[in-house]
Amino acid sequence: ATIRADRGAIDQIITNLLTNAVKYAPDNPEVTITGWREGDDILLSVQDHGLGISAADQQHLFTRFFRAETSTGIAGTGIGLNLVRQLVTMHGGSITVDSAVGQGSTFTVRLPVSGPAEMVAATDVSLPLKAAQ
């Protein structure tokens, strides 16, 4: 599928989510990446089998400088997910998290295929996605 987006921003979103998935799953670095289309949106999910995030921490997860309790002892600044959310929002999209402590996390990004009309740096970005089933 092809979406209208800022290629650098899409690269940053994907890189950050993948880096976090591996970083916060030190004992099981297996990551599942799934992409699909739903109507006029492209969805991308990144699932890990790591530490997981409590429901209380999930409410603040996209706040700048916030670090979840489960991240203690793991290097980081608390900026990455805030940046991801800003870039996704800039594209007219949304990001959600589904997680439980000890169960891992799934982050899902939803982006409109057309992208925002006012985005100056937008170009067509091809993503190898399968149709939703």
Model confidence pLDDT, tens digit, residues 45-61: 999 998 888 888 878 78
Reported residue count of the chain is 133
Range of the domain at 97: 2-131
Mean model confidence pLDDT for the chain: 82
Q: How many structural domains does the chain have?
A: 1
Q: Are 9 and 90 in contact (CB under 8 A)?
A: yes
Q: Which of 66-70, 75-79, 104-108, 120-124 has the lowest mean pLDDT?
A: 120-124
Residue 94 has pLDDT above 90, yes or no: yes
Q: What is the pTM of this model?
A: 0.80
Percent of the chain at pLDDT > 90 equals: 41
Of residues 117 and 113, more confidently modeled: 113
The three-state (H, E, C) secondary structure of the chain, written as one string: CEEEECHHHHHHHHHHHHHHHHHCCCCCCCEEEEEEEECCEEEEEEEECCCCCCHHHHCCCCCCCCCCHHHCCCCCCCCHHHHHHHHHHHCCCEEEEEEECCCEEEEEEEEECCCCCCCCCCEEEECCCEECC
Query: Which CATH number do you get for residue 45?
Result: 3.30.565.10
